[in-house]
């Protein structure tokens, strides 16, 4: 039950919050929708996407993210009043500082650093985040909770940008490897990552795991083999190379569906967020060019519905698409008929 509840919170974080206006004092925040669940998440992906596309990165947007930081270096989903200290992390109620928000903010601050304030904030964030690694090498969503693959993948991706973290990364990668479905499992499960042990593989867990395993913040166009990587297993049916294994699962799912990854809660529907993350990870592995092409074509065809709910644009989706477009060598200013940087910058609150 706990794993399911956490997965539901993650689903809220990667989908559009209710169309409630953001507080009027959120100058520098991307998007006008209620930021309660995804303020730091969407800001971080927006900043990384703009940086990847070499577009304008407004200082006010960086300042907004820095102002959201808690005194101990952590980040939570959103602080409506930054004059009020952050509450303690509460894994039972999914409140307070969390590793996902902190990892994404860390990555964004390292990538778009515009001065000493951003550097200091990034240093404090990585210092807090490294303290959350469990004895088994994984990271929990909230400190005190059980480690999961989603959080571990994001933390690993963020630490890929930080010098002197080799041991942290090795332990996180080993944690992910232990959770990869092995060669003796059902063909449709081989190489996939479950949110936690005992669950079935899902798109978000596997793509975020690959982001970390493939060091995929930020990826620029590179040569890819058309075929997906082969998967081999060693003792205990453990994947020999978890990066190849997860890439294989993602490529197989995309190929089977004709261009998208399935939604974890509604498998008959496409999960465009995970599909975009999957593209980034696949390009980083230099494999699966055929599956990457299918996914990019599907993302271009469905870009309009992914980035907008019909009334407001989704900054996180725009930022993620920017990362995918840059990784695949597509023009981010003409992606599925959308000028992604322009649309994203238009959501900035003044």
pTM over 0.85: yes
Q: Do residues 49 and 61 lie in contact, with contact meaning Cβ atoms separated by under 8 Å?
A: no
pLDDT tens-digit profile of 226-262?
A: 999 999 999 999 999 999 999 999 999 999 999 999 9
pLDDT of residue 25: 73
Domain positions in the chain: 2-345
The single-letter DSSP state of residue 195 is: S
Q: Do residues 250 and 257 lie in contact, with contact meaning Cβ atoms separated by under 8 Å?
A: no
pLDDT tens-digit profile of 332-345?
A: 999 999 999 999 99
Which numeric CATH code is attached to 2-345?
1.50.10.20
pLDDT (tens digit, 0 to 9) for every residue of the chain, 350 residues total?
A: 334 444 444 444 445 444 455 565 799 999 999 999 999 999 999 999 999 999 999 999 999 999 999 999 999 999 999 999 999 999 999 999 999 999 999 999 999 998 999 999 999 999 999 999 999 999 999 999 999 999 999 999 999 999 999 999 999 999 999 999 999 999 999 999 999 999 999 999 999 999 999 999 999 999 999 999 999 999 999 999 999 999 999 999 999 999 999 998 999 999 999 999 999 999 999 999 999 999 999 999 999 999 999 999 999 999 999 999 999 999 999 999 999 999 999 999 99
> Is residue 193 helix, strand or coil?
coil
Alpha carbon of 297 to those of 24, 195, 276, 336, 343: distances in Å?
A: 38, 28, 11, 8, 20
Give residue 315's Cα distance to chain centre.
13
Interatomic CA distance for residues 79 and 113, integer angstroms:
21
Q: Do residues 272 and 299 lie in contact, with contact meaning Cβ atoms separated by under 8 Å?
A: yes
Tokens (6 digits) for 343: 């649309």
pLDDT of residue 13: 40
Judging by beta carbons within 10 Å of its beta carbon (0-12, 13-18, 19+), is residue 135 exposed, middle or buried? exposed
């Amino acid at each position: 039950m706990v794993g399911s509840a956490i997965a539901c919170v993650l689903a809220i974080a990667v989908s559009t919050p209710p169309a409630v206006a953001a507080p009027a004092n959120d100058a520098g925040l991307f998007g006008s929708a209620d930021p309660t669940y995804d303020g730091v998440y969407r800001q971080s992906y927006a900043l990384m996407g703009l940086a990847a596309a070499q577009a304008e990165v407004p200082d006010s947007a960086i300042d907004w993210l820095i102002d959201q930081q808690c005194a101990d270096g952590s980040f939570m989903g959103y602080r409506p009043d930054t004059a009020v200290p952050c509450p303690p992390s509460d894994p039972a109620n999914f409140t307070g500082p969390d590793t996902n928000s902190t990892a994404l903010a860390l990555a964004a601050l390292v990538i778009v650093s515009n001065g000493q304030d951003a550097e200091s904030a990034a240093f404090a964030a990585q210092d807090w985040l490294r303290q959350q690694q469990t004895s088994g090498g994984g990271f929990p969503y909230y400190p005190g909770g059980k480690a999961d693959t989603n959080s571990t993948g994001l933390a690993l991706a963020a630490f890929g940008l930080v010098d002197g973290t080799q041991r942290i990364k090795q332990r996180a990668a080993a944690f992910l490897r232990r959770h990869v479905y092995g060669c003796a499992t059902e063909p449709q499960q081989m190489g996939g990552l479950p949110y936690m042990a005992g669950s079935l593989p899902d798109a978000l867990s596997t793509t975020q795991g690959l982001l970390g395993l493939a060091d995929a913040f930020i990826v620029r166009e590179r040569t890819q083999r058309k075929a997906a990587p082969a998967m081999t297993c060693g003792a205990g049916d453990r994947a020999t190379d978890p990066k190849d294994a997860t890439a294989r699962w993602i490529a197989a799912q995309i190929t089977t569906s004709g261009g998208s990854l399935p939604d974890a809660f509604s498998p008959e529907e496409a999960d465009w967020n995970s599909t975009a993350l999957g593209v980034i990870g696949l390009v980083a592995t230099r494999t699966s060019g055929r599956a990457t092409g299918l996914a990019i074509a599907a993302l271009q065809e469905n870009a309009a519905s992914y980035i907008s709910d019909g009334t407001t644009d989704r900054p996180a989706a725009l930022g993620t698409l920017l990362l995918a477009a840059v990784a695949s060598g597509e023009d981010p200013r003409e992606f599925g008929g959308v000028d992604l940087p322009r649309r994203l910058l238009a959501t900035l609150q003044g």
